Amino acid sequence: MKRPIRVLELRSVRGTGGGPEKTILLGAARSDPTRVAVTVCYIRDARDEVFAIGDRARALGVDYVEPVERGSFDPRIFTQLTRLVASRDIDIIHAHDYKTDALTWFLARRTATIPLATAHGWTGHSARERWLYYPVDKWLLARYPHVIAVSSDVRNELVRFGARHDRVTVVLNGIDADQFRRAPARTLIARHALGLSSEEVAVVAVGRLEPQKRFDLLLQAFAPLAACRPELKLFIAGDGSLRQTLQAQRDRLALGTSRLLGHMADPADVYQAADLFVQSADYEGTPNAVLEAMAFEVPIVATDAGGTRELIRHGEDGLVVPRGDENALRAAIESVITDRAGARYRAGNARARVESDLAFDTRMRRVNAIYEALADTRG
């Protein structure tokens, strides 16, 4: 009997992580071990006091390993990973960020494994990331035998850095539509928890409070609407470096009844309570928050950032506006609020889309096909 392909999912992240963690962990939990045996490995920084990926992995019952580094560039990690690859008899190392992209490249040469990477996008905003880490990462990925890009924008960027078209495959993120489903009985509870009456309209956003998400733009666009329509309430779920800045902007704009909800391990109730979801980002890979809003049948307004415009067909599944355009964002929000029938129609289409083209199982089949094609190259 042919043995399964053995895959090591390798990632380095701080804190609670983000969208990629949902994809990596659910993919490992859903994998058929007789076909693809997955080990998930997250490198944890010893200084990180809020790291919680291990708890999530154990709850899902996945094969999980967590080497600890004592600094951002701890050479002992390479030795630990080499031993892990040997002990698990790994065939493919699947990297998910610029640090593990580099580690995987060198591990493949040390261990004769096949390197694969998923390029989730380059969303950091520090000067070191923008001018050093990201350009080096793109150059390196362009030399990988294969890369999975989460959007066409990401693929095009890799091609610009020299990647061959046939070595970069776009695989949009997917979602488990059964896990994320609107429950009318839950809606009243969720709205009550946010202090909402039946007459009030909940506009929600979910994401890290970082510059590329442009929550400052959302607040600026929302303020004139709230001034004219006091029933509108804005809720932003997430945490990050801009929390205090956004709080100050909210106060300056007199949006006292709108709230920054902070980090939520499971924002399902935010979607359950929502009348409208807004994504205001300047840059995205393929945003899980948009997928979740689609699954919960929440009407969507989103910018045309990254893979968002591949998830949302304008006028069919939601309304898509240009990045950075405050007036267009405001007009789209107002359109959803005033045209409820059109909003419900688009939300229904979005739900149907995540049950088919954007289903998590559809994504897994595409990724497994890449694993099998790469494994076949070893003979």
Q: What DSSP letter does each residue of 100-123 carry, written as one string?
A: HHHHHHHHHHHH-PEEEEEE----
Q: Which CATH superfamily does the domain covering 5-174+359-376 fall into?
A: Glycogen Phosphorylase B; (3.40.50.2000)
How many beta carbons lie within 10 A of that of residue 148, not counting itself?
22
Cβ(43)–Cβ(78) below 8 Å: no
DSSP annotation of 313 reads P
Which residue ranges does the chain devote to CATH 3.40.50.2000? 5-174+359-376, 184-354
For the stretch 135-150, pLDDT in tens is 999 999 999 999 999 9
What residues contact 354, with CB distance under 8 A and at least 6 apart?
A: 174, 175, 177, 180, 291, 294, 295
What's the whole-number average pLDDT of the chain? Answer: 93
pLDDT digits (tens, 9 = 90+) for 170-207: 999 999 999 899 988 899 999 999 999 999 999 999 99
Residue reference for tokens 């990926």:
53
Q: pLDDT category, 72, cuts 50, 70, 90? A: confident
d(CA 274, CA 296): 9
Strand locations in 215-273, DSSP E? 232-237, 259-262
Instruction: Please tell me the predicted confidence (pLDDT) of residue 1.
Output: 56
Domain 184-354 coded CATH 3.40.50.2000: yes
pLDDT band for position 78 (50/70/90)? Answer: very high
Q: Residue 17's pLDDT band (boundaries 50, 70, 90)? A: confident
Q: Residue 122 contacts by C-beta under 8 Å, 6 or more apart in sequence?
A: 98, 129, 134, 137, 138, 157
**pTM (two decimals):** 0.89
Closest CA to 324 of 240, 244, 211: 211
Structure tokens at 361: 């199982």
Share of the chain above pLDDT 70, in %: 99
Range in 44-48, 88-92, 220-224 the model is least confident about:
44-48
> Is 242:209 a contact under the CB 8 Å cutoff?
yes
Is there a contact between 139 and 162 (Cβ–Cβ < 8 Å)?
Answer: yes
Please, which pLDDT band fits residue 125 given cuts at 50, 70 and 90? confident
Alpha-carbon distance 21 to 27, whole Å?
Answer: 10
Structure tokens belonging to residue 123: 């969303």
Predicted confidence at residue 206, as pLDDT, reads 96
Give the distance between the most distant pair of CA atoms in the chain: 69
**Which residue, among 340, 296, 336, has the nearest Cα to 319 in the 3D structure?**
336
Residues 6+ apart with CB under 8 A from 253: 219, 220, 223
**CB crowding 74-93: b at 16 or more within 10 Å, else e:** beebeebbeebbeebebbbb
* pLDDT surpasses 80 at 31: yes
Q: Is the pLDDT of residue 124 over 80?
A: no
Three-state SS at 29: helix
